[in-house]
Amino acid sequence: MTTPLRIALAGLGTVGSGVIRLINENGAMIAQRAGRPIEVVAISARNRDRDRGVDLSPYKWVDDMTDFASDPDVDCVVEMIGGSDGPALELARNSLRGGKSFVTANKAMIAHHGMELAGLAENQNLALKYEAAVAGGIPVIKGLREGASANRIERVYGILNGTCNYILTTMEKHGSDFNAVLKDAQDLGYAEADPSFDIDGVDAAHKLAILAALSFGTAVDFDGVEIAGIRNIMAADIGQAKALGYRIRLLGMARIDDGKLFQRVNPYLVPESHPLAHIDGSTNAVVAEGNFSGRLMFQGAGAGDGPTASAVVADLIDIARGDSGTVFAMPVDEMAQSERAESGNRTGKSYIRFVVADKPGVLAEITAAMRDAEVSIESLIQTEKTEEGSVLISMVTHQSMERDVVLSLQKLSDSSSLQGAPVVMHLLSDED
Ligand SMILES: NC(=O)c1ccc[n+]([C@@H]2O[C@H](COP(=O)([O-])OP(=O)(O)OC[C@H]3O[C@@H](n4cnc5c(N)ncnc54)[C@H](OP(=O)(O)O)[C@@H]3O)[C@@H](O)[C@H]2O)c1
């Protein structure tokens, strides 16, 4: 057998220690598939004494992981730390400048700095791989970059955050409220102590920006993603969506609209007939619609040590085989910054839910604002009283310009009848 691919591993938490376990358990088979062994030669994390449930004694411990970049015994640096900037970014830059291939699971870093890092890698013919950064164990990067590469992708969308999907589908199953389910999810370890990146949609937006770049050949544009999370979704919304034949899912949605890039993370009402409506718990799913392939759906575990390590080691196998490839689906120099499409120009049906004071005339006030903004109401689904004595009013609009829906809500922004900002969700359709 030929020389091993020698890797240095920075970060030994959930994913980093999962990578060591996987290489230990499947090493012989991996060596056959890769054509040579993958060997961990050095490791680093913050706390050398922490028990990580895996024997680390065979590996050289390095206190300062920046040393990996200049270590002649290292071919490839694997970053399993996290964070868009800070030590992860410094390590990525130094490693690539030092001539090392680089593998990461860090979506935040790729979403913010992927173009710069891809430039560094491609200029030197080095691999920069990040399969685990999007949808954990699902081989969607490979699927889009290789399997679907003959297609023009019309749109790419999906359930990109397992924590949100767990919360929404648990609310759906038990009729429970958001805060109660979030607390349970935290107790069970499905949600972080600070869950804001997940529940406010930022994590899904990182992944969406990467998927959009891969799918459309446009520069990664995280700042162009419109982001809304799931904090304001009530059990009543889920019940009312169900009554209409829909389920609520937080979706990342990207497409090219008249030559401009549209990217949004938002809760959507997904028709029960759509496969995404049946993705439950912490599972992730990505749909890509190609002009020749038709609809492709990638589904599986979006997180966890095993699935994420599986994606990381698949990247290492590619590198061991000598496949550095382009970082995205085309050379980074040819990926142009796209103009951003305005969501206001989009047309579709929207679900709108108001919490209002229980007093006469409120419904008339809302419907007048909508009429003035030329938004017509297809159905007023229900009005129901909350325990606090407020009233929930939910409705679905006819096909409307999104700009007009926003205008109708602006007309109500000073209303003393409204208690809190209305919640708006789009109904997923083939035109989204
Ligand atoms: N967890 C998942 O299921 C999952 C799924 C997909 C992608 N990812 C991505 O994978 C990456 C790692 O996630 P994780 O869940 O494994 O994180 P984690 O469990 O928190 O582990 C992070 C590791 O990085 C080390 N570290 C943190 N700051 C450091 C610093 N300044 N210098 C040196 N080492 C430092 C920590 O050291 P100590 O242990 O010594 O504190 C720890 O070993 C992130 O980019 C994440 O987004 C995770």
pLDDT in tens, 60-84: 999 999 999 999 999 999 999 999 9
| Residue 202: other Cβ atoms inside 10 A | 18
Banded pLDDT at 432 (limits 50, 70, 90): confident
* pLDDT of amino acid 383: 67
Cβ–ligand 1 distance for 47 under 6 Å, the answer: yes
pLDDT in tens, 124-137: 999 999 999 999 99
Please state the rounded mean pLDDT for residues 276-290: 97
Shortest-distance Cα residue to atom 20 of ligand 1 = 13
Q: Which residue has the higher pLDDT, 324 or 6?
A: 6
> Is 355 strand, coil or helix?
strand
Q: Are 37 and 321 in contact (CB under 8 A)?
A: no
* pLDDT of amino acid 24: 97
* pLDDT of amino acid 191: 87
Phi, psi torsion values for 24, nearest 5 degrees: -60, -45
* pLDDT of amino acid 172: 96
Please state the rounded mean pLDDT for residues 278-297: 97
Cβ–ligand 1 distance for 87 under 6 Å, the answer: yes
Q: Are 377 and 398 in contact (CB under 8 A)?
A: yes
Beta strands (DSSP E) in 105-238 are 128-129, 153-159, 226-227
Ligand 1 center to residue 68 CA distance, Å? 17
Give the position of tokens 């209409």.
244
What angle do the packed helices 362-372 and 402-411 form, to 10 degrees? 140
pLDDT in tens, 108-118: 999 999 999 99
Cβ–ligand 1 distance for 210 under 6 Å, the answer: no
Please state the rounded mean pLDDT for residues 327-345: 93
CA-to-CA distance for 196 and 53, rounded, in angstroms? 29
Ligand 1 center to residue 124 CA distance, Å? 27
So which residues are the catalytic ones? 207
Sheet holding 38-44, edge to edge: 60-61, 38-44, 5-10, 76-79, 101-104, 128-129
CA-to-CA distance for 192 and 180, rounded, in angstroms? 15
Ligand 1 center to residue 412 CA distance, Å? 45
pLDDT in tens, 346-400: 999 999 999 999 888 999 999 999 999 999 999 987 667 877 888 999 999 999 9
Cβ–ligand 1 distance for 303 under 6 Å, the answer: yes
Cβ–ligand 1 distance for 418 under 6 Å, the answer: no
Atom of ligand 1 nearest to the CA of 79: 11
Atom of ligand 1 nearest to the CA of 87: 31
Q: Residue 156 CA to chain centroid, in angstroms?
A: 12
Question: Taking all residues of the chain, what is their mean pLDDT, rounded to a whole number?
Answer: 95
- Identify the H or E element spanning 405: helix 402-411
Give the position of tokens 């004694």.
57
* pLDDT of amino acid 381: 75
* pLDDT of amino acid 152: 96
Say what percent of the chain tops pLDDT 90.
91
pLDDT at 95 over 60: yes
CA-to-CA distance for 410 and 418, rounded, in angstroms? 12
**Which residues are CB-contacts of 95 (< 8 A; sequence separation ≥ 6)?**
68, 69, 77, 79, 102
Does the pTM surpass 0.85? The reply is yes
Burial string for 131-140 (b: 16+ CB within 10 Å, else e) reads bbbbbbbbbb
* pLDDT of amino acid 382: 65
CA-to-CA distance for 403 and 398, rounded, in angstroms? 14
